[in-house]
Amino acid sequence: MPELMMSTKEVADYLGIHEKQVYALIKQKKIPCTRVTGKWLFPKDIIDEWIRTSAQKDINVMKTRGKGHRGALLASGSNDPVLNILFTYMKNIYPDFHIYTSATGSTEGLHLLMQKETDIAWCHLFDPQSGGYNIPQVAEMFRDMDVAVVHLFYRELGFVVSPKSEKNVKTFEDLTVPGVRFINRQKGSGTRLLLDYNLEKLGIDPANIQGYGDEVYTHMEVGLSLLSGEYDVGIASVAISRLLGLGFVPLVRESFDMVLLQKTFFDKWVQALIEVLGTEQFRKKVEPLGSYDFTEAGKIIYSSTS
């Protein structure tokens, strides 16, 4: 079977759902597919586009729902377990707090913000020229809009390794060792851009990495792919290794920020979110997740004027 075509089982694994759910989607005509000699086949490039389009629809649905909640925030972009804990913590303190977030990847999150389809873009985009994060990309994209980059926390990103794997992966070169099965992140995500930058710098051909074309959309999905035993290694935040009991090899300390219109910065829920990030109670709550640094949380590290 050509690599660009997936079977029902393969597309179920690719989407991280049960095979029965795939058949349900087929029956409801909600997933692109074709039938050849009695078997359902799924073109990978069309499935990737379907995933991207579905993410955009999620944003539109959230936008509609948000209108029904006074002060609801819409967010998209990257993801981190700390955000989920933060939202729950916020909800306990402020019952009226509502946020709808979609894991589209850092780049897509910025695009949605530029189109005013979201209030907040979660972002961790490495800039090879400056060695910094997010600001160069935001400055380039939002020349005609008044935006701000607000720092949230520093976190460690690294190789997460399956406890079932006997492969010793410590460097990017180790990803090319025969038998090492790698689970990747989607194009446009900060993690994927960091990986591709390092591969290019080291002269590593992605074609030599088994699983380079296998993509998931969140750090948690990377971790669950390793727990299943289907893959040996991926790249995710240190929190995933702590939560799921995976091995961890640190690669970089990166800045995780939120990008938003300057007027949105003064929204009461944005201010409440920043306030909660700065509390000792919240920081102690997430302390078991690993090396997260909140000392500069809430600091505006860049603002533009159109």
Instruction: Specify the pTM.
Output: 0.75
**Does 267 share its domain with 138?**
yes
The crossing angle, in degrees rounded to 10, of helices 106-114 and 44-66 is 50
**Does 236 share its domain with 290?**
no
Residue-wise pLDDT for 142-154, tens only, equals 988 999 999 999 9
Note the pLDDT of residue 163.
84
**Does 205 share its domain with 268?**
no
Residue-wise pLDDT for 14-50, tens only, equals 776 777 778 878 877 778 888 777 788 888 777 777 7
Q: Which residues form the domain of 18?
A: 1-56
Averaged confidence pLDDT in the chain: 88
Please report, for the domain that includes residue 111, its CATH number. 3.40.190.10
Residues facing 300 on adjacent strands: 150
**Does 132 share its domain with 201?**
no
C-alpha dist (Å) from residue 286 to 82, 205, 239, 277, 304 = 7, 38, 9, 10, 32
Please report, for the domain that includes residue 47, its CATH number. 1.10.10
Instruction: State yes or no: pLDDT of 257 exceeds 50.
Output: yes
Other beta carbons less than 10 A from residue 229's beta carbon? 12
Instruction: State yes or no: pLDDT of 196 exceeds 90.
Output: yes
Note the pLDDT of residue 39.
83
C-alpha 56/C-alpha 1 separation (Å) is: 31
Note the pLDDT of residue 67.
44
**Does 45 share its domain with 85?**
no
**Does 248 share its domain with 261?**
no
Q: Which of 13, 34, 56 lies at the terminal end of a domain, its last residue?
A: 56
Domain total in the chain: 3
pLDDT-wise least confident of 4-8, 104-108, 170-174, 247-251: 4-8
**Does 45 share its domain with 64?**
no
Note the pLDDT of residue 146.
94
**Does 71 share its domain with 211?**
no
Note the pLDDT of residue 16.
66
Note the pLDDT of residue 171.
97
Q: Which of 27, 56, 85 lies at the terminal end of a domain, its last residue?
A: 56
**Does 143 share its domain with 163?**
no
**Does 25 share its domain with 73?**
no
**Does 263 share its domain with 124?**
yes
Q: Which residues of 82-110 are buried (b: 16+ CB within 10 A; e: fewer)?
A: bbeebbebbeeeeeebbbbbbbbbbbbbb
**Does 139 share its domain with 170?**
no
